[in-house]
Structure 1
Amino acid sequence: MPVTGPGTPPGGALGRRLDGEPEPQTPGRRPHPGPPPADATRYTSAFSGSLPPSGTPARRPRPRPVDPPTEIIKPVDDDYDDEYDDYDDYEDDVPPPRTDSAARRTVRTVGELLITFGLVILLFVVYEVYITDLISAGKQDDATHALDDKWGANTVQADPQRQAQYDLVEGEAFAKMYIPAFGPDFKFSIVEGTSDKHLEIGPGHYVNTALPGAPGNFAVAGHRVGKGAPFNDLDLLGACDAIIVETRTEWFVYRMLPKASEVAGWAQSDKAKNPKCGKVSPLGAPYDKTVGQEIVLPTQGEVIDAVPHFEGEVPQAQQVALLTLTTCHPRFSDRQRLIVHAVLTQGYPKAEGFVPEEFKEQ
């Protein structure tokens, strides 16, 4: 029977070396235990408490894959039929449209007519103010070119001993007008006649009134709004402002007479001392009612008489050479007439390259 004692390995066998030989025993020393049983070197997992054999690297446990959470898809409720059922119920609840009363239809009709009428008026104003300006500008250009061609074809020089001759044809230009106070762009050809079709071309000469530079009253009409509006700013002219008229052979310079408020004390006024007013003064009888600016009714045709506002006869030799400009007043209305009277102060024969000094007045 094998001898056992403290430190004897299980089974009672003595320790042996790996080569099979018995391991020598040392007195007082516990014998080295032999190799452990085969099942002692086995280990199950990191949680069993056993260790792997000496010299064997520890193996990490492979992580367990984590499954994604399960997505729960709600079932689709088929409730379209219920929605349409609700819509059908809504249609059943809508009351039928009300029938308009006669008063409502009348008010609506009147409103539509007023709107239409307003649009027509607006279009008419646009036409009168803007479109007719473009049309008249084209007609004015044609009349000016025709006049230039006529003047260019005739090279006869002015004869101071003879009265200027004019070829007056209604609707055709025979002279030009300039107002330096309105800027260098103000220039219009004057046509013969004052009918609507004539004034669409430009300022029109009153038939049977005096001619430029001659004794009497050279009267010219023009529009104030639309159709070129040559006299739009006529109310802005002041006493002594120049109005220049060009004919085929001469330049004529007219200057506006003093206004009614300036007649009294004119000789002592500062304006009368201005050099350009040297030949301008109240005219006196029979022109004591003839002032630089006045507003009259359309029926007061006496403003274009040879001697305005005078009922008697004045011999032509005693008549003053006047220029009278007429236009509508106020703007956008023909209720009245704005009148400007000017007196002839200077005349120059035309010569090549000559321009009157009055053009420099601004």
Structure 2
Amino acid sequence: MPTRYDGDRDYEGPDSAGAVATERRGPGGGATAVRTIGEILITAGLVVLLFVVYELYITDIFSANKQANANTVLDDEWKNDRTLHPDLVEGQAFARMYIPEFGADYHFTIQEGTTEKSLVVGPGHYVGTPLPGEPGNFAVAGHRVGKGAPFNDLDELHSCSAIIIETHTDFYVYKVLPYEDEQKGWETGKGQQPDCRGVSTLRDPNQPDGGAYGKTVGRKVVAPNRGDATNPVPYQPKDILPAAGQVSLLTLTTCHPQFSARERLIIHSVLTRQVAKTEVGTIAELTEKLKTAGETR
């Protein structure tokens, strides 16, 4: 039977097996709505995926270029023996950071300031906190995801991990402080290991609460509003100790957990050694010297 057209309906004759003619109808309103919603969700998913790719990979490329340029400028300044001005410039590199446990290729310049202008290049120094080696709390912030992610692996550090800061004239070796669950028995336990030389709990044994540094441990996770983590004595009023009585600390801060800004991961370390560049010329020489002495892993 020939096919015929009747208004908005298509009709077909029986097939070769003699089947009864069937009516084909277009999608109803419900099906159309489901399809539309599906298309919107697919589009939204693609937008989110592109954003994730941009944050994780594209920003890393941009930051790597900025970091390379900052390294070149800093090398030029040090090579030509140009000293930095007392007032550091926002976004300007003035030091380098190394973490031997993260490999020989881990090194980042440290810029002045913690605005996006600084952090897109690399770790940024909290304005107003001391400089490397000085008494008090030399504090540095860094991204954990995207933009070079210099602090992506901070949660892999452990007590006594070395963090080395290089300036124009010196290397400063900081060691991560004991974690909270290591406080008891530290002096006769892990504190006796060679890589923990110079690292103590900082607690005052004569004070029930440990004294001024009783709240300072190697690793803490805090709320984003805990700005006192970068105080001269962490988590204490800024005037609790005079400068002469303050320990030389290095504090690193980053977002926590990964892919979230819900909390902050804080790593506190203490200065254990200052080495002039006239004594060891390169970071490779210094790390080899520390390894030979058993002071790094």
TM-score with structure 2 setting the length = 0.85
* Equivalent residue letter for 1:225: V
User: How many Å separate the matches in 1 of 2:25 and 2:232?
Assistant: 74
- Which residue in the other structure is 2:216 paired with? 290
Sequence identity percentage = 53
Aligned residue identity for 1:127: Y
Q: Residue 281 in 1 paired to residue 207 in 2?
A: no
> Partner of 1:358 in structure 2?
290
Distance 2:170 2:64 in 1: 26
Equivalent residue of 2:241, what SS? coil
| Superimposed CA distance per residue, residues 273-292 of structure 1 (whole angstroms, 9 cap, x where no aligned partner) | 11221210100120010000
8 Å Cα contact 2:160-2:196 kept in structure 1:
yes
Q: How many Å apart are 1:98 and its aligned residue?
A: 2.8
1:230 correspondence with 2:150: yes
* Deviates further, 213-222 or 193-202: 193-202
After TM superposition, the structure 1 stretch with the greater mean CA deviation from structure 2, 298-307 or 310-319, is: 310-319
Contact 2:171 2:275 in 1 (8 A): yes
Larger-gyration structure (1/2): 1
Instruction: Specify the SS of the correspondent of 1:268.
Output: coil
- The equivalent of 2:206 in structure 1 is none
Match for 1:131 among 58, 61, 74? 58
| Counterpart in the other structure of 1:305 | 231
1:101 Cα deviation from its structure 2 partner: 3.3
Q: Does 224-233 or 99-108 show the bigger shift?
A: 99-108
Offset of residue 126 of structure 1 = 1.1
Match in the other structure for 1:242: 162
Q: Taking CA–CA contacts closer than 8 Å with sequence separation of 6 or more, which of the two structures ends up with the larger relative contact order?
A: 2
Q: 1:113 Cα shift? A: 0.5
State how far apart, in whole Å, the 1-side matches of 2:73 and 2:86 are: 15
C-alpha change, 1:359 and 1:172, in structure 2 (3 Å) is: farther
d(CA) in 2 for partners of 1:167 and 1:151? 17
- Deviations along 1:211-250, one digit per CA (max 9) or x if unpaired, are 1100110000111111111111101111111110000111
> Which has the higher mean CA deviation after the structures are superposed, 88-97 or 195-204?
88-97
**Equivalent position of 1:119 in the other structure:** 46
Question: Contact 2:100–2:162 at 8 Å: present in 1 too?
Answer: yes
**TM superposition shift of 1:104:** 2.5
How far is the alpha carbon of 1:145 from its aligned partner? 0.5
Aligned residue pairs: how many? 269
Distance of 1:135 and 1:155 partners within structure 2: 28
2:29 corresponding residue in structure 1:
102
Say whether the 8 Å CA contact 1:209–1:304 is kept in structure 2. Answer: yes
Amino acid across the alignment from 2:230:
I
RMSD: 2.1
Instruction: Structure 1 unaligned segments of length 5 or more: list them.
Output: 1-85, 157-163
Structure 1 221/257 Cα, relative in aligned 2: closer, same or farther at 3 Å?
Answer: same
Q: Kindly tell me: are residues 232 and 359 of structure 1, through their superposed partners in 2, closer, same or farther at Cα, counting changes over 3 Å? A: farther
- Gapped regions of structure 2 (runs ≥ 5): 14-21, 204-210
User: What is the identity, as a one-letter code, of the residue corresponding to 1:237?
Assistant: L
Per-residue CA distance 1:334-356 (angstroms, 9 max, x = gap): 11111000001110121273532
CA positional deviation for 1:359? 6.6
With normalisation by structure 1, the TM-score equals 0.70
TM-aligned CA deviation for residue 300 of structure 1:
0.6
Q: What's the counterpart of residue 340 of structure 1?
A: 267
Is the partner of 1:322 in helix, strand or coil? strand
Q: Is the 8 A contact 1:180 1:243 kept in 2?
A: yes
2:19 corresponding residue in structure 1: none
Q: Distance in 1 between matches of 2:48 and 2:231?
A: 37
Q: Does 1:185 align with 2:111?
A: no
Using the alignment, how far apart are the partners of 2:40 and 2:200 within structure 1?
57
The answer to whether the 8 Å contact 2:11/2:23 transfers is no
Q: Name the CA distance, whole Å, in 1 between partners of 2:80 and 2:192.
A: 43
Asked if residue 141 in structure 1 is aligned to residue 68 in structure 2, the reply is: yes
- Compare the two structures and name the one with the higher strand fraction: 2
> What is aligned with 1:4?
none
